[in-house]
Amino acid sequence: MAWLSSDTTQVCRRCGHAQEMMEFSRVRQGAKNRHGSVHRECNRCYQGRKRSVSRSAQIRALETGTIDAADPEGLADGGAGPIDLDLTLALPVPIEPPPPLNIESAGCEFSELSRALTDRFKASARDDVPVYARFVVDCNQEHWDVFRSWSTTHPDSENDPSAGPDSFKAWVNDSLRPKLEVGTGFYWEVRTYSRSRVRREEYLATLCASRDDRVASNSSAHPSSSRTSEKRRKITRYGCQGTVNVTVDSALGTCYVVAFHVDDHPKPSWRDNVFPAKAKDFLAKFSRHAGAVKEVVMDSTFKTNALRFEMFVVVANLGGFGVPLNYMFYFKKVGTGDPSPSLYQMKRTRKLLLGRWLGGLHERGLQPVFVLNDKDKGQIWAAQEAFPRAHVQLCLRHSMDTLERMGAG
């Protein structure tokens, strides 16, 4: 057990300090063992966690200013000490404080939220200071109709504050989060949804950036693999402590956005992956010379059948360089009320779609001499139908794998 430092001392997993073993022994309420037991968290951290402020109280403190900005730790009136105002998750290490309560609130329309966030983040990056922003956003009537509509389909929501407002979640993911990402240039994920227990018309969504305190987990459903192609690329994390808290009051038609971001780390370029116009011009010009292509390669995504989709690509071999010519996204979905198709029907549908896709390329002038693919029978049949004069054969790697299996058998 790595968290034990010696026989007489132990390291607290919350504060990281080595203390005597007696500081970790306590009797929990309702426990059968009245002699106490040893825990991994010291008694001081345990008592501090019990006195933690709820999320709803924290957000109300930020909005109403009930915490004195001059004495944020509450020590002047004999308070219990500093209040953890990180509204996303409780951390075992100190973090940067949230936005001060005396910051000026800027009003804007919902359509202007992205521009307002962009101006504030650019100004903070120029002055090399953390981002402290608070906006009071006026939304259109159509947004509040979304929030009110879900309560009619959830009659027990008045007595169940934890009932999930599905329409509110859809509004956050489809309308609000894209504006936050466009305005800030960073990627945000929704951490928590909650409904106020005090005011029934008030909802809260907490969005958090890809921060370095997010611990990577490996689910048992997706175990780690030795294959490089199956491993996920590691996400670069930063100590930005970025947090965006959104409070929606459907009765007043107002949305409060509180943003906090420490450092201006590099923005994820893959979020701005817009297909360049130069690439479109190249493909348009190249389509007139499709007849000069002598060799193409067909391939599809790896192990996505269980996810009900496949992505196919036709790549041209131009002097040893692969140039993708066309893609096809194939999604398997059964209509509501329709009988589930058999395996034969699904394979036949997939084979016909592949043939129609490659036939369209043939009509646009693509007439290769060689077509390389893997052992997919559907791709082989489609290539033979679309390019009857071409030599359809396995690629080198799949040919070697086949020979090795035949030799081993």
Interval 349-365: pLDDT, tens: 888 999 999 998 888 88
Do 333 and 284 have their domain in common? yes
Please report whether residue 397 resides in a domain: yes
* Residue 314: predicted pLDDT: 92
Residue 358: what pLDDT? 92
Query: Does residue 288 lie in a domain region?
Result: yes
Question: Mean pLDDT across the stretch 378-393?
Answer: 90
Residue 97: C-alpha distances to residues 69, 166, 180, 210 (Å): 11, 32, 21, 18
Kindly give the residue spans of alpha helices, DSSP state H, lying in 52-93.
Answer: 55-64
- CATH number of the domain enclosing 401: 3.30.420
Mean pLDDT taken over the chain:
69
Mark whether 61 and 29 lie in a shared domain.
no
For a pLDDT cut of 70, what percent of the chain falls above it? 55
Whether residue 225 is contained in a domain is answered as: no
Give the tokens for residue 319. Answer: 């002097």
Whether the pLDDT of residue 79 is over 80: the answer is no
Per residue in 94-112, pLDDT (tens digit) is 333 444 444 556 777 777 8
Q: Same domain for 140 and 188?
A: yes
**Does residue 287 sit within a domain?**
yes
Q: Name the domain count of the chain.
A: 3
Q: Report pLDDT for 6.
A: 45
Confirm if 121 and 262 have CB atoms less than 8 A apart: no
Instruction: State mean pLDDT over 374-403.
Output: 86
Same domain, 386 and 242: no
Q: Are residues 287 and 264 in the same domain?
A: no
Distance between CA atoms of residues 292 and 232, nearest Å: 37
Question: Mean pLDDT, to the nearest integer, of 294-314?
Answer: 82
19-76 pLDDT, tens per residue? 887 788 776 665 565 556 777 788 877 776 655 555 555 555 555 554 444 444 443 4
pLDDT of residue 310: 87
Q: Is the pLDDT of residue 155 over 50?
A: no
163/180 same-domain check = yes
Task: Look at residue 235 in the predicted model and tell me its pLDDT.
Answer: 64
Q: Is there a single domain that holds both residue 145 and residue 159? A: yes
Those residues whose C-beta lies under 8 Å from the C-beta of residue 393, and which sit 6 or more positions away, are 370, 371, 372, 399
Average pLDDT over residues 210-237: 58
Reported in sequence order, the residue ranges of 120-272 that DSSP labels E, i.e. its strands, are 131-138, 188-195, 202-209, 243-249, 254-261
Higher pLDDT: 402 or 385? It is 385
Residue with tokens 């001059």: 70
In a shared domain, residues 282 and 155:
no
Residues 6+ apart with CB under 8 A from 326: 313, 314, 357, 361
- CB of 196 within 8 A of CB of 233? no
Among 4-13, 45-54, 78-87, 127-136, the range with the most confident prediction by mean pLDDT is: 127-136
User: 287: Cβ–Cβ under 8 A, 6 or more apart, which residues?
Assistant: 364, 365
pLDDT digits (tens, 9 = 90+) for 260-292: 888 767 776 544 445 566 666 766 666 666 777
Q: Does a structural domain hold residue 170?
A: yes
Closest by CA to 9, choosing from 35, 38, 29, is 38
pLDDT on residue 44? 79
Residue 22 DSSP symbol: G
Q: Which residue has the higher pLDDT, 129 or 157?
A: 129
In a domain, 64, yes or no: yes
Q: Distance of alpha carbon 322 from its chain centroid, rounded?
A: 31
Residue 225's identity, in one-letter code, is S
Give me the pLDDT at residue 75, please. 39
Q: Do 15 and 66 sit in the same domain of this protein?
A: no
Domain boundary among 273, 299, 319: 273
pLDDT at 81 over 50: no
Q: Which two tokens stand for residue 292?
A: 């000069």
Domain assignment of residue 283, given as a range: 277-408
Q: What is the CATH number of the domain that holds 130?
A: 3.40.1000
**What is the share, in percent, of the chain residues with pLDDT greater than 90?**
4
Report H helices in 259-409: 277-286, 343-363, 377-386, 396-408
User: Same domain, yes or no, for 281 and 331?
Assistant: yes
Rounded distance, CA 175 to CA 389, Å? 51
Most confident of 167-171, 215-219, 237-241, 318-322: 318-322
Contacts of 260 (CB under 8 A, 6+ apart): 96, 98, 99, 130, 131, 132, 133, 241, 242, 243, 244
Indicate whether 352 belongs to any domain.
Answer: yes
Q: What is the DSSP string of 348-363?
A: HHHHHHHHHHHHHHHH
CA dist 32 to 36, 38, 128, Å? 9, 14, 56
Q: How confident is the model at residue 313 (pLDDT cuts 50, 70, 90)?
A: very high
pLDDT at 159: 40
Task: State yes or no: pLDDT of 88 exceeds 50.
Answer: no
pTM, entire model: 0.42
**Do 294 and 363 reside in the same domain of the chain?**
yes
d(CA 252, CA 203): 12
Q: Are residues 318 and 353 in the same domain?
A: yes
Give domain status of residue 3, yes or no: no
